[in-house]
Structure 1
Amino acid sequence: MKALAIAMVNLRRVFSDRTNIFFVIVAPFLMVFVLGQLFGGSQQLTLGVVSGSGPLSEQLVQALGSGKRIAVERVADESALRTAVERGRLRTGVIVPADYDARVRGGGQVELRYLTRQEDPGAAEIGTWIRSVVPQQAALLRAARFGQQEGSGTFEENLAKAARVDVGTVQVRVTTTGRSLFPEGFNPFGASAPPLLLLFTFLTSMTAAIGLVETRLLGVARRMYAAPVTARAIVAGEALGRLVIALVQALLIMIGSALIFGVDWGNLFAAGALILVFSLVGSGAAMLLGSAFKTPGAAISVAMVLGLGLGALGGSMVALESFSPTMQTIAHVTPHAWAYEAFAELVRNGGTIVDVLPQFGILSCYAAVLFALGVWRLRRVLTR
């Protein structure tokens, strides 16, 4: 009971600081929302268009805006379109010549100009869409022009006929080889929530280790040791306090992201086991850190460097799949990379505890070593 009371005091100490409330509760959900919107598959992609007012030009613009994720925005002139694309307000831009209708009806070739930023992945997707729509429109125009040349009607009549043609005998079957990184219909927030859970759980554990430094610095540890409290109870309480802080942070992100953003964490038993073992990793590292320094300033500096640095290296900030093969190998020095792979299997592919046993085993080794070292080091520091 004394160990549990010490653990609860540590938890209350964390949430008594309003700054901690922001970083433990508010910041993770803001990050999940921002990254889910940035890299997810549900946001609209805006295409700016400069065009004339003719019916053929209008038909082309409507075709460009017929995609589910494509939103067309009219722009007054090329200069305004270029500025909007350069500043990122529009993802891409297409310039349709003002004499588009006249040149098409006259049998001439028309060149469409395309503006984009190469580093924008959304722009690349719009570019693929444009390259599929424009040939389809060109085929309709060629059919209408051919019919007019053969004397079967006016250009407009043939264009209307070509648009109504239903090629019912052609069937397209798409087959995906291998396993997709993100399955069809995958919740974009499900891609950002697990790595951010790992980042904030470990970071919160490391920064909460400052409490251990303050406990010794302010003489709280000596007073507890002088009271009728055994050294074993003090160490157990402090260790349990680190674990409870990590678990509370992880569960807040897990439950909150499921309720707010609809994230499906897959097999709950497997997800819960991963959260527990990763919290043991974080709490063990926190005890080592908290018992290694005598002043809060040095401890918080190292806590931030390790919390953010290991998180970045382990794929908690940038997707692990985007790393080079060499960097992916290096990333597996961190527990974050193993936990990232395990959660990816659960959340994206509906895996079970059996599917993540290798990652779970590695994380258990991390947890056993770090927690054992943390308890040993903390006992030495508190009792000497």
Structure 2
Amino acid sequence: MLKWVATIHKEWLLLIRDRTGLLLLFLMPAALVVVITLVQDNVLRQTGGLRIRGALVDADGGAAAQVLVHALEANETVTFRRVWDGRAVDTQKAADMVAQGELQFYAAIPAGLTAAVAERVRARMERLVAGESEAAAPGSDLPEVAVHFDPTVQSIYRTAVNGVLHQALAVMQAEYSMKYLGDSLERHLRERVAALAGGFAPQITEQLVPTLGGDIMQAPVVCISVQSTGSAKFERLPTAVQQNVPAWALFGMFFIVVPLSGSLIRERREGILARLLVMPVSRTALILGKLTAYAGVCMIQFLCIVLVGKWLLPLLGTDAFVIGGHAWEMLVVALCSALAATGYGILLGVVARTNEQAAVLGPVSIVIAAALGGIMVPVFAMPHAMQVISQASPLAWAHDAFMTLLVRDGGLSAVWGQLTLLLLFFGAALGVSLLVLSKRRW
């Protein structure tokens, strides 16, 4: 026991004297959490809460244009503004604002839209009432609502704007279709009744055809309910903070392999390990002492990142990191992750022959494991082959466990599979390390 404690004390003294290594272990993940969260926070808000801003130029001003404008301005996802600084926006003003970066796009309703829509819808309804089942060819002279995007706007935002426009156009077309369908039906029935009833036709046709249209035709008959799977009481949306704090904390914890493997290689190269083994202390005690010391560093590192998410990020304008009722479960996942990280660091320090090998293999392998594990890109957005490969990443196991606790409101019973994989990885790495050490001559 005393030998184990002495080994831990030795490792802590070496770590405290390595100021550069401490900066790498603590400032690097903290900086990553702050920078990446701030960058991603506004993106997530725009796709889930903030509005995409654009101008709306109405060169028509007719009834159809008014219906279209009303539908666009009522949308909560994309903001369409017709008035700027107290004046209606014209095409030149809108183009200048997009070019200067004040807006992401502008939409222009052409002059003559109302007349063109009325003519086309009336002709279509006349053909329908007359019993013609085939629609006329649309032709090439359809009125066109032009949307002009800033070249930097990505496709996801363009798709959102186009979807809103298509929805508004569908509302306008439906309203006009109902209006002219009613007119065509009434006229057609009057003609038929007049042919059959003669002089009594005016009194009969007054009550035959109800007026179609109005607000009653726009009232929804089906609604949409958006819910999360899992616990019904847990409806917290996954923010950039909830995603990035545990993700980049894991990334920083696994970077413990750099100083840990370097320490092992340095002790082996300078003969320190050989001299320690001459003393009445086993290889297992030395390795376990080193492992305990660095696992403790990982836990302190994790707690520091959680504090950054809890207290610093809200001061910079983001949401606070919410632990909920899963503090102890998070510590268990963090401990298993720390053991997996230190186990890999010891394995790398034992297998690598030089500091150069460990300095290249360690960071590169951690970056690859992080990329595969969903730290940088969500796993579901990867190709199928990469999704299969990602299941072998320890960072994927740990990250999925954290997401189950923080976003899906799971407990330890829901993450026991990931914890088992992390502990098996740790056991395998430690076992291989002790086996190599036992067979190597010092």
Q: CA RMSD in A?
A: 4.5
Q: Distance in 2 between matches of 1:130 and 1:13?
A: 62
Shift of 1:83: 11
Does structure 2 retain, via aligned residues, the 8 Å contact 1:52–1:97?
Answer: yes
SS of alignment partner, residue 80 of structure 2: strand
- 1:116-155 alignment runs, 5 A limit: 120-140=155-175
Structure 2 partner of 1:308: 367
Number of equivalences? 369
Structure 2 partner of 1:156: none
Judged with a 3 Å threshold, the aligned counterparts in structure 2 of structure 1 residues 366 and 132 are, in CA distance, closer, same or farther, namely same
Q: Distance in 2 between matches of 1:24 and 1:175?
A: 38
Structure 2 partner of 1:373: 432
Does structure 2 retain, via aligned residues, the 8 Å contact 1:310–1:334?
Answer: yes
Q: Distance in 2 between matches of 1:336 and 1:295?
A: 26
Q: Distance in 2 between matches of 1:93 and 1:379?
A: 71
Residue range with higher mean Cα deviation, 310-319 or 4-13:
4-13
The answer to whether 1:264 aligns with 2:322 is: yes
Judged with a 3 Å threshold, the aligned counterparts in structure 2 of structure 1 residues 132 and 168 are, in CA distance, closer, same or farther, namely closer
Judged with a 3 Å threshold, the aligned counterparts in structure 2 of structure 1 residues 33 and 103 are, in CA distance, closer, same or farther, namely same
Q: In structure 1, which of residues 2, 8, 11 is the aligned counterpart of residue 6 of structure 2?
A: 2
Cα displacement string for residues 167-191 of structure 1 (whole angstroms, at most 9, x for unaligned residues): 79754343679949xx865032223
Q: Distance in 2 between matches of 1:376 and 1:47?
A: 62
Shift of 1:63: 3.7
Shift of 1:121: 2.4
Structure 1 partner of 2:37: 32
- 1:161-180 alignment runs, 5 A limit: 165=215, 170-174=220-224, 179=229
Q: Distance in 2 between matches of 1:134 and 1:316?
A: 40
The answer to whether 1:95 aligns with 2:108 is: yes
The answer to whether 1:360 aligns with 2:419 is: yes
Does structure 2 retain, via aligned residues, the 8 Å contact 1:31–1:196?
Answer: no
The answer to whether 1:225 aligns with 2:276 is: yes
Structure 2 partner of 1:44: 50
The answer to whether 1:188 aligns with 2:239 is: yes
Structure 2 partner of 1:201: 253
SS of alignment partner, residue 94 of structure 1: strand
Structure 2 partner of 1:212: 263
Structure 1 partner of 2:306: 254
SS of alignment partner, residue 367 of structure 1: helix
Does structure 1 retain, via aligned residues, the 8 Å contact 2:58–2:108?
Answer: no
Q: Distance in 2 between matches of 1:131 and 1:337?
A: 39
Structure 1 partner of 2:190: none
Structure 1 partner of 2:210: none
Judged with a 3 Å threshold, the aligned counterparts in structure 2 of structure 1 residues 76 and 167 are, in CA distance, closer, same or farther, namely closer
Does structure 2 retain, via aligned residues, the 8 Å contact 1:64–1:72?
Answer: yes
Q: Distance in 1 between matches of 2:436 and 2:400?
A: 31
Structure 1 partner of 2:27: 22
TM-score normalised to structure 2 length: 0.66
Does structure 1 retain, via aligned residues, the 8 Å contact 2:25–2:301?
Answer: no
Shift of 1:276: 0.9
Structure 2 partner of 1:113: 146
SS of alignment partner, residue 264 of structure 1: coil
Structure 1 partner of 2:348: 289
Higher Cα Rg, which structure: 2
SS of alignment partner, residue 199 of structure 1: helix
Percentage of identical aligned residues: 17
The answer to whether 1:320 aligns with 2:379 is: yes
Judged with a 3 Å threshold, the aligned counterparts in structure 2 of structure 1 residues 328 and 223 are, in CA distance, closer, same or farther, namely closer
Shift of 1:69: 3.5
Shift of 1:234: 4.4
Judged with a 3 Å threshold, the aligned counterparts in structure 2 of structure 1 residues 229 and 66 are, in CA distance, closer, same or farther, namely farther
Gaps of 5+ in 2: 83-88, 122-141, 187-212, 314-318
Judged with a 3 Å threshold, the aligned counterparts in structure 2 of structure 1 residues 29 and 39 are, in CA distance, closer, same or farther, namely same
Does structure 2 retain, via aligned residues, the 8 Å contact 1:81–1:93?
Answer: yes
Q: Distance in 2 between matches of 1:379 and 1:241?
A: 22
Judged with a 3 Å threshold, the aligned counterparts in structure 2 of structure 1 residues 192 and 91 are, in CA distance, closer, same or farther, namely farther
Judged with a 3 Å threshold, the aligned counterparts in structure 2 of structure 1 residues 320 and 15 are, in CA distance, closer, same or farther, namely farther
Shift of 1:374: 3.9
Q: Distance in 1 between matches of 2:439 and 2:101?
A: 56
TM-score normalised to structure 1 length: 0.75
Q: Distance in 1 between matches of 2:94 and 2:393?
A: 48
Cα displacement string for residues 113-140 of structure 1 (whole angstroms, at most 9, x for unaligned residues): 3456896223323332322233224445
Does structure 2 retain, via aligned residues, the 8 Å contact 1:213–1:296?
Answer: no
Shift of 1:212: 0.9
Structure 2 partner of 1:157: none
Structure 1 partner of 2:295: 243
Q: Distance in 1 between matches of 2:263 and 2:181?
A: 83
Judged with a 3 Å threshold, the aligned counterparts in structure 2 of structure 1 residues 169 and 134 are, in CA distance, closer, same or farther, namely closer
| Aligned amino acid, residue 244 of structure 1 | G
Residue range with higher mean Cα deviation, 94-103 or 318-327:
94-103
